[in-house]
Structure 1
Amino acid sequence: MTRESILITLTDLIASNLEVQLPEVVLESSRLFEDLHIDSLMVLQLVVYIEEEFDVVVPEEGVDPAVFSTMGMLVTFIQELQEAMKI
């Protein structure tokens, strides 16, 4: 998947599954906590949705919290997980 398609899918996941009002445009630079108003509990829910939607496994330990700082960081993380699944 391209970065753009992952970003769109991720935005749709957040909009349809988490109870947050997203801005009209979500960019890679959008910050999950500050701009999208996602809290730590929602991040845990989002991880489950990411695993299901992108057919990846997010490790329970060793994940850098910075992964969840911006949408772009999260897109990169998903791409890395997808690449790891191919090996």
Structure 2
Amino acid sequence: MTRTEIYSKLMEIIAQNFEIKLPDHVDEGSRIYEDLFIDSIMVLQLTVYIEEEFGIFVPEDNVDPEVLETVGSLISFIEHLKLQNQTA
């Protein structure tokens, strides 16, 4: 799965599952909390959706806050976890 495909799927998850209005322009530099208006409770829900959609396990106690800084950092984290799952 390419970065573009992960981005598209991530935006689809957010648009379909959260009652927020996404900005007109969202890119990898968009900030999760400030630009997308996703709060900490939504992040927990988003984590579950990510696990289900991408078939990965997100370790709750080992997530660096920087992972949730931008859309791009979240995509990189998903890529990293998918790679770990493939080599395990």
Question: How would you bin the TM-score normalised by the shorter chain?
Answer: over 0.9
User: 1:27 — aligned with what?
Assistant: 27
Provide TM-score, normalisation by structure 1.
0.97
Structure 1 CA distance for aligned equivalents of residues 48 and 8 of structure 2 = 17
Question: Which stretches of structure 1, 4 residues or longer, exceed 6 Å deviation after superposition?
Answer: none
Provide TM-score, normalisation by structure 2.
0.96
In the TM superposition, 1:7-86 aligns within 5 A as 7-86=7-86
Uncovered stretches (5+) of structure 1, i.e. residues with no partner: none
Uncovered stretches (5+) of structure 2, i.e. residues with no partner: none
Query: What is the DSSP-based 3-state SS (H/G/I as helix, E as strand, rest coil) of the residue aligned with 2:60?
Result: coil
CA-atom RMSD in angstroms: 0.7
